Structure formats: C-alpha cells, structure tokens
Amino acid sequence: MCGNNMSVPLLAEAVTVSGTERETAAVIFLHGLGDTGHSWADALSSVRIPYVKYICPHAPKIPVTLNMRMVMPSWFDLIGLSPDAPEDEAGIKKATENIKAIIEHEIKNGIPAHRIILGGFSQGGALSLYTALTCQHKLAGVIALSCWLPLHKTFPQAASNSANKDTPILQCHGDADIMIPVRFGALTHEKLKTIVSPMKLQFKTYPSMSHGSCPQEMAAVKEFIEKTLPRI
C-alpha cells in the first residue's frame, strides 16, 4: 500500500491519525498558511472517532506575496485577504487537483467518497470549499473553519459539474477574527446559499474567538463528523 502513495505527493508526507478499529471513513483536513499538518492532527485527535482516519497533509513551501514573498507552507499564493483582492487562480486550481488526488487515492483504497469529509482552517478551509464545490465525487461533508470561498466571482457557474450541491457544510468563524473578519465568513455563507442547498449549510460564530479554534468549535466539528460519518 505504501508504494502507491508516491503518485500522490501530498500523501507521502501527510500526518495520518489512524482509527483504533477498522477504518470505514476518512477526514482530510488542510492547515492554514505557514502551518503544517501536525497542529490539526493533534487538534483532531482530541475529537477522535474510532473508525475514522484523519489525513492532514502539509502544504508545499512557496513564496507568498502577502508576506513579502517569504517562503512558507502555503496551498497557493495569497496576494491580499479582502474579498476584492486579486487571486492566484492557477495556483488555486493546481492545489485543488492535488487535493482531489488524495480523495481519489482514498477511494481506490476502499473508502468511498460519501464516507470522506474534506475540511480545513483559513487558507486550508478556503481550498477545501473550492475543491468540494468543483469536485465530481459526492463527499460526506465539508468543514470550513475561519475561511472564505476562493474565486467567489466564478460561482455558482464554477460548481455546475459539482456532485456536492446538497452536501452538508459546517462553517465556523470567530467574531474577533482580525485576519479573516467574520464579515467575510458571512459573505461566504451568503454566496454558498446560491450554490448549495441552504438547508445543508450551518454557519456558527464564536464570541471573542480570534483567528484560531476553541473547545466549543471542536465539539461542533466532532458532532458534524459523527452525524455525516455515522458508524456502519
């Protein structure tokens, strides 16, 4: 099995938290700018579900325009953080293909798409939303923490072939986030209503939470995973 990881570069290095019993589901979770998969592997371990495998890949290291071209882990280049800032369209689409390759690898290895949740935090959450909404595989759900929808002006058209128009999405945001203000999260939520069945969307905000996570949010994440990936 290790042999075919090589064809999926992000998977070879990814931090994986294995289930404590037979794995029948997977959560692929993407970290934020400048981070690695380790911090979210640790956070998800705290809300572990025995039959779920957690896969936390590391973003490649690239120069980031927003941070004076410093080289750091980043899923794609970031030019600005406002809804009108120019975006790295080619980089976003390339990153999306790399995440779809992880999903396809899991499907080949026996975990069907409808037993896979894609999620992420900040830039990783943005990539998970874009990937799910342009993906031909029907996923179990999407977890979008403190993030935005990339290339939002291309939607709903960009989602025309998506299999995830009625896939549950849990969106969480801190009220005190100065990096990605909660207003951007709210705008993203409104945009998602034009793409995905509004009944399937949850937007939870957390008072005094900055650009990070909190125990209440992790409890909501666990509840969402249990609901969308029930034991079989």
Residue-range domain boundaries for the chain: 2-58+100-228
**In terms of Cα–Cα distance, which of 86, 65, 82, 83 is closest to 74?**
65
Strand ranges, E, within 47-191:
52-56, 61-64, 70-73, 116-121, 141-145, 169-174
**Would you give per-residue pLDDT tens digits along the chain (232 residues)?**
344 455 687 888 899 999 999 999 999 999 999 999 999 999 999 999 999 999 999 999 999 999 999 999 999 999 998 888 999 999 999 999 999 999 999 999 999 999 999 999 999 999 999 999 999 999 999 999 999 999 999 999 999 999 999 999 999 999 999 999 999 999 999 999 999 999 999 999 999 999 999 999 999 999 999 999 999 9
Distance CA 167, CA 65 (A): 33
For residue 131, the model assigns a pLDDT of: 98
Which CA distances in Å does 94 have to 76, 99, 100, 180, 195?
8, 9, 10, 23, 22
**Distance in angstroms (rounded) separating the CA atoms of residues 162 and 132:** 8
Q: pTM for the complete prediction?
A: 0.95
Question: In a 10 Å sphere around its CB, with 0-12 CB exposed, 13-18 middle and 19+ buried, how is residue 93 labelled?
Answer: middle
- Are the CB atoms for 60 and 31 separated by under 8 Å? no
Is the CATH number 1.10.287.1260 carried by domain 2-58+100-228?
no
* Residues identified as active-site: 122, 177, 211
Asked if 174 and 211 touch (Cβ cutoff 8 Å), the reply is: yes
Q: Quick one: pLDDT at residue 2?
A: 42
pLDDT of residue 1: 38
pLDDT of residue 3: 42
Residue 7, pLDDT score: 65
How many C-beta atoms lie closer than 10 Å to residue 197's C-beta?
13
